[in-house]
Amino acid sequence: MLIKKPSDINPSEITPEGVYRNRRQFISDSGKLLLGAAAASSLPSIANAQTGDRLKARAPANMRRTPPAAWWADKFADIKPAPDSEPFYTGETLTPYEDVTRYNNFYEFGMDKGDPSSNSGSYKADPWSVEIAGEVAKPGVYNLEDILKPHDLEERVYRLRCVEAWSMVIPWVGFSLADLIKRFEPTSKAKFVEFETIVDPETMPGIRSRFAIVRWPYREGLRMDEAMNPLTFMAVGVYGDYLPPQNGAPMRLVVPWKYGFKSIKAIVKINFRETMPNTTWNDLQAQEYGFYANVNPAVHHPRWRQDTERRLPQTLFSRSRIETRPFNGYGDQVASLYKGMDLARFY
């Protein structure tokens, strides 16, 4: 077998879908999904938790995480439950916690779906700080406690649609990104918001890998009106519990009407810009991964269709495939942001 050096690999040869479908992953997923189906049947009290003063879902007791620091427990003591209607709740069956936390794309920990949960044991989310930079009145480096202190946490149950044509329904915990942005007082020049993920070679083996395909740090961005939309969410938890490393601890973005790669994890920098930022996948393969990345069943990926998706969990004997909706079903809330745009050109 011919083995190429990273410098010899053309961008056109890089294929996340190929990685996803490789033999090793297929074998791993088959066993995991069989277990996931069993787990789903054993979680009725979680997926169908009472509404009102209770969250829609909580992590299984034997999998709940220790608070990264003492102050986290206070923040999570009073989480506002998701409402019983759209757009902050879907009414769909929740993806089991085990699948949400063990089936991830987070290349800093490895290329396979199971690598993030397997390889993140030494990763630490405390202490943590976030740099606020660019066109704002209050730039600086803020520790995470000060970032979160003014914000009440709430639960939101969103659909997550991956560009690889699989999807989940996830109960996140966090707060509105718009509320965070307002605190730093963007200037009139701030037209875009740029985000960066932490680069920590010591605890992220994917960064050390000679086969890494990403130029670190991982970068993403939104137009300012997208960032200020009420749906755009800064998540610090999942299933009523603290975010695990593989899901982007301690703080990640969730943009439910866009493909999942826009929802950047483990954020350490937020930069307000006048010009559109470069983003990781758009830089790597612009013909396949656009800046906007709105879920659009009418615009297919060059190597696979986007009009249907595989709703996880699945098994070898039960492979649920559903139709993909424009903007992932959130068109009533966000379609107006793109009025007059050619969404096939600005994909």
Q: What is the pLDDT of residues 21-53, one digit of tens each?
A: 343 443 344 444 333 444 433 333 333 333 335
pLDDT of residue 319: 74
Q: What is the pLDDT of residues 89-132, one digit of tens each?
A: 999 999 999 999 999 999 999 999 999 999 999 999 999 999 99
pLDDT of residue 17: 41
pLDDT of residue 185: 98
Contacts of 270 (CB under 8 A, 6+ apart): 130, 131, 132, 133, 193, 194, 195
pLDDT of residue 315: 77
pLDDT of residue 314: 85
User: pTM for the whole thing?
Assistant: 0.84
Q: With bands split at pLDDT 50, 70 and 90, how would you rate the model's confidence at 135?
A: very high
Q: Which helix (H) or strand (E) holds 308?
A: strand 308-311
The rounded mean pLDDT for the chain is 87
Question: Which of 224, 225, 284, 235 has the alpha carbon at shortest distance from 263?
Answer: 235
Contacts of 124 (CB under 8 A, 6+ apart): 203
| Angstrom distances, CA of residue 296 to CA of 188, 225, 300 | 31, 19, 8
| Angstrom distances, CA of residue 123 to CA of 79, 211, 337 | 26, 21, 37
Residue 201: pLDDT above 90? yes
Residue 254: pLDDT above 60? yes
Question: What structural domains does the chain harbor?
Answer: 13-337 (3.90.420.10)
pLDDT of residue 150: 96
Residue 1: pLDDT above 60? no
Residue 283: pLDDT above 60? yes
